DNA sequence: CTGTTAGCGCGTTCAA
DNA sequence: TTGAACGCGCTAACAG
């Protein structure tokens, strides 16, 4: 690996001059520029990003924390964030927190130790206090899918209460009165918010909420199956089932079929998130769009604007509104 | 951000001593270790990984190139690689090449500029020559899902010919004689290999290959739909359809249903890859297991062993064998 | 066991 | 417009 020093020797100029043509910030005469450039080319010179970072205190890379590296939801998130950042010459360093406080913490510390210029976090397990400290430290931070008090300007969230409301409202509008619900793990804010929206829609329609109509799942497919089975016992007459995410909806659909229910003639199902595979399901899942794509883009633009002085092409917004994606699993009664 | 220098001052020792307690490689007396550790704690010291890397020429991070950051296939790959590496204290830096020669090249150069200790590449677009040069340069490299001549020891691949063979063989064994095929883009080695396997199985069973029975897709869901429609015109009597990956199989299933074919009573379908969502499909997709998980693990172990001297718990293998995953979309004739 | 001293490869003053 | 010199924060000989 050639170094800047060898280039300077080959070009017969000083080290500083080579640095100047690399960064193009100071004046360099056309002639010396040519000399340097051809020297770089013939040596196959590539700057050492590590050394550049140490000297300039800039890494041109932003850290991204997700909960998992697999799954459509995070795939979409990583993909969009990387896209807009790379388009602007910035790189992304991705880590996974696995929804575990210790591991999330470690992942964030890793990103900090790599001196990322900014952090984009989908942090679920770490405390609000920790996030506040982080935001008040040197490194610019934004948080996705989590609203932290006093940090509104750093958070990008979807209105989960409204999403939950819309899902159940759609079922109600289709004529359903006995509506079961499979929630996510309720210690998670998004899960409890969605459930709150569900209750609100029920109430508004004059329907009473029966605690037997709910099952607490874990956002994974298998708990959708479990939930479906459980609910058949505790709340046998439901004609519609709202699930707090698409994975569980998929599991519920499987269980429903195994129990002999045709969808949607015998049972209607509504999901949440609108992940990619929801349209591959059969019947195609009616669900609530979680604008993860838009949130990821916005977070990336925030970073570009606040850290790299690259103005965002769109106004920065922090609250995103979900909407119903009407497909084939919700039937009218 | 406290530096090692401030810690040394606070602890009343030299800079080198602090370094020693951090890295734990040289002897340090219990007393001074305590002093240093408490100084580090009270200052909230965190080593600057950038500076460490520059000085030690070690980054403790390995670069991973995938084609896309989304999709089950790459999700699985990233997830497993990260898991085994992190378990051994190494970090992963992920980049995407988007199956484009220029972008793959840039992504790899980025990883090199970050001085990754090793590279794990799922490179589809870059040339064999480039990969050979890379392997012969300083940085250790392994390639996933691509066999490069002379680089067998650095490649981890599944036997795609055999996979294609098994898929079609399964259909033949179930009594099918008119078997259509939707391939991937044939300039890709894995796609053409799978097709070769298909032909081999046909031949072996005394069935003649009809070029009208094949449609060249692009591995995406939509081309599965197109393929299905196309084949109904060119090869109308097929009772089984083999697809070169699960996404296209999913698309074909949708198209088949829209055309009124029941699966599997009227039409059998076999996929390839066994990605996560293949079991969420209805009916659950019969497919060929692509041991991406095993390959990812193996690649990670290779790196640990060759670069970090951490012996692999399992013998390193380079060729993986696919197998049939028997589910619900293949019916007997 | 501990301290001193060179670098690692590069950016950035400050002079010239 | 260019060069010399210093420093970024840390590791790694080499002494002691």
Q: Which of residues 37-76 of B touch strand D (CB under 7 A)?
A: 47-48, 51-52, 54-56, 58
Q: Is the pLDDT of residue B277 over 90?
A: no
Closest CB to A49: pick one of B79, B113, B257: B113
Q: Which residues pair with B287 in a beta bridge?
A: B325
A74/D8 CA-to-C1' distance in Å:
36
The string of pLDDT tens digits covering residues A221-261 is: 999 999 999 999 999 999 999 999 999 999 999 999 989 99
Q: Which nucleotides of D are covered by protein (CB under 7 A)?
A: 1-5, 7-13
For domain A60-157+292-319, give the CATH number: 3.40.50.2300
Q: Give the confidence band of B1 by pLDDT, cuts at 50, 70, 90.
A: confident
Asked if the C-beta of A299 comes within 8 angstroms of chain B's C-beta atoms, the answer is no
Res. B92 pLDDT band, cuts 50 70 90? very high
What 3 state SS string does B16-79 have?
A: HHHHHHHHCCCCCCHHHHHHHHHHHHHHCCCCCHHHHHHHHCCCCEEEEEECCCCCHHHHHHHH
Closest protein CA to C1' of nucleotide C7, residue: B55
Asked whether the predicted pLDDT for residue A71 surpasses 90, the reply is: no
H/E run at residue B228:
helix B221-234
What's the confidence (pLDDT) of residue B333?
86
Q: Is the pLDDT of residue B72 over 90?
A: no
Q: Is the Cβ–Cβ distance between B128 and B149 less than 8 Å?
A: yes
Q: Where in chain B is the domain with CATH 3.40.50.2300?
A: 60-157+292-319, 160-290
A59:B50 CB<8 A: yes
pLDDT in tens, B204-224: 999 999 999 999 999 999 999
Query: What mean pLDDT do residues A9-28 have?
Result: 90
For the domain spanning B160-290, the CATH number is: 3.40.50.2300
Name which of B291, B253, B288 is nearest B272 in CA terms.
B288
Question: What pLDDT is attached to residue A101?
Answer: 95
Rounded-to-integer distance, Cα B15 and Cα A238, Å: 70
Q: Give the bridge partners for A288, in sequence order.
A: A324
Task: Calculate what percentage of chain B has a pLDDT beyond 70.
Answer: 100
Provide the shortest C-alpha distance from residue B260 to chain A (in Å). Answer: 14
The model's confidence at residue A138, banded by pLDDT at 50, 70 and 90, is confident
Average pLDDT, chain B: 94
- The listed range with the strongest mean pLDDT (A26-35, A254-263, B274-283) is A254-263
Nearest nt (C1') to A113 (CA)? D9
Q: Please check the confidence at residue B26 and state whether its pLDDT lies above 90.
A: no
Q: Fold for domain B4-47?
A: 434 Repressor (Amino-terminal Domain) (1.10.260)
Residue of B nearest to A63 (CA): B93
Residue ranges matching CATH 1.10.260.40 in chain B: 4-47
| Closest alpha carbon within chain A to B248 | A280
The reply to whether residue A113 touches residue B46, judged by beta carbons under 8 angstroms, is yes
pLDDT beyond 90 at B280: no
Q: Which of B54, B221, B277 sits opposite A54 (nearest CB)?
A: B54
* The pLDDT of residue A323: 97
Q: pLDDT at residue A279 above 90?
A: no
Q: What is the pLDDT of residue B24?
A: 85
Of residues A277 and A46, more confidently modeled: A46
* pLDDT value at A5 more than 90: yes
Task: From B295, B200, B188, B279, select the one nearest B242 (Cα to Cα).
Answer: B200
Nearest to B75 among A49, A71, A113 (CB): A71
Query: pLDDT value at position B71?
Result: 84
Say whether B46 and A112 touch across the interface (CB within 8 A): yes
Cβ < 7 Å from strand D, A residues 43-72:
54-55, 57
Closest residue to C2 (CA, C1′): B17
The alpha carbon of residue B89 is apart from the nearest alpha carbon of chain A, in Å, by: 11
Contact A49 B115 (CB under 8 A): yes
Chain B: give the shortest CA distance to residue A16, in Å: 19
User: pLDDT tier at B175 (50, 70, 90 boundaries)?
Assistant: very high
Residue A158 to residue B7: CA distance in whole angstroms = 44
* Segment A162-165 long-range contacts (CB within 8 Å, at least 24 positions apart): A162/A197, A162/A321, A162/A322, A163/A194, A163/A197, A163/A272, A163/A288, A163/A290, A163/A322, A164/A193, A164/A194, A164/A195, A164/A196, A164/A197, A164/A198, A164/A200, A164/A201, A164/A242, A164/A244, A164/A272, A165/A197, A165/A198, A165/A200, A165/A201
- Look at residues B21, B1, B74, B140 and name the one whose alpha carbon lies nearest to residue A79: B74
> How far apart are alpha carbons B73 and B287 in whole angstroms?
14
Cβ–Cβ of B112/A51 closer than 8 Å?
no
Mean pLDDT of B84-101: 93
Across the interface, which of B50, B79, B254 has its CB nearest the CB of A114?
B50
**Structure pTM?**
0.90
Chain B positions in Cβ-Cβ contact with residue A50 (cut-off 8 Å):
50, 53-54, 59, 114-115
Q: Are B72 and A76 in contact (CB < 8 Å)? A: no
The mean predicted confidence, pLDDT, of chain A is: 94
| Res B276 pLDDT > 90 | no
Model confidence pLDDT, tens digit, residues B104-120: 999 999 999 889 999 99
Q: Which helix (H) or strand (E) holds B161?
A: helix B160-173
Residue in B68, B93, B276 nearest the CB of A93: B93
């Amino acid at each position: 690996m050639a170094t800047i020093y060898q280039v300077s020797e080959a070009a017969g100029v000083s080290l500083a001059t080579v640095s100047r043509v690399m960064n193009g910030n100071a004046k360099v005469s056309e002639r010396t520029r040519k000399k340097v450039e051809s020297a770089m080319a013939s040596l196959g010179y590539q700057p050492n990003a590590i050394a550049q970072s140490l000297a300039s205190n800039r890494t041109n890379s932003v850290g991204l924390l997700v909960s998992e590296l697999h799954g459509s939801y995070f795939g979409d998130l990583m993909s969009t964030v990387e896209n807009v950042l790379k388009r602007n010459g910035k790189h992304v360093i991705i880590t996974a927190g696995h929804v575990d406080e210790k591991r999330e913490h470690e992942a964030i510390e890793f990103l900090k130790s790599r001196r990322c210029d900014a952090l984009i976090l989908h942090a679920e397990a770490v405390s609000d206090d920790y996030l506040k400290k982080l935001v008040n430290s040197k490194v610019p931070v934004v948080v996705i899918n989590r609203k932290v008090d006093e940090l509104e300007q750093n958070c990008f969230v979807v209105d989960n209460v409204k999403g939950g409301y819309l899902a159940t409202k759609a079922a109600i509008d289709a004529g359903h009165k006995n509506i079961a619900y499979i929630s996510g793990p309720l210690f998670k804010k998004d899960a409890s918010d969605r459930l709150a929206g569900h209750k609100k829609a029920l109430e508004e329609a004059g329907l009473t909420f029966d605690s037997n109509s709910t099952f607490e799942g874990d956002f994974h497919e298998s708990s959708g199956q479990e939930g479906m089975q459980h609910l058949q016992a505790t709340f046998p007459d439901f004609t519609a089932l709202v699930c707090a995410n698409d994975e569980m909806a998929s599991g519920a659909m499987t269980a429903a079929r195994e129990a002999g229910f045709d969808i949607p003639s015998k049972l209607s199902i509504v999901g949440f998130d609108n992940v990619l595979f929801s349209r591959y399901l059969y019947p195609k899942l009616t669900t609530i769009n979680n604008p993860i794509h838009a949130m990821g883009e916005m977070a990336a633009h925030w970073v570009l604007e606040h850290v790299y002085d690259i103005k965002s092409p769109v106004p920065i917004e922090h609250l995103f509104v979900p909407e119903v994606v009407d497909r084939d699993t919700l039937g009218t009664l």
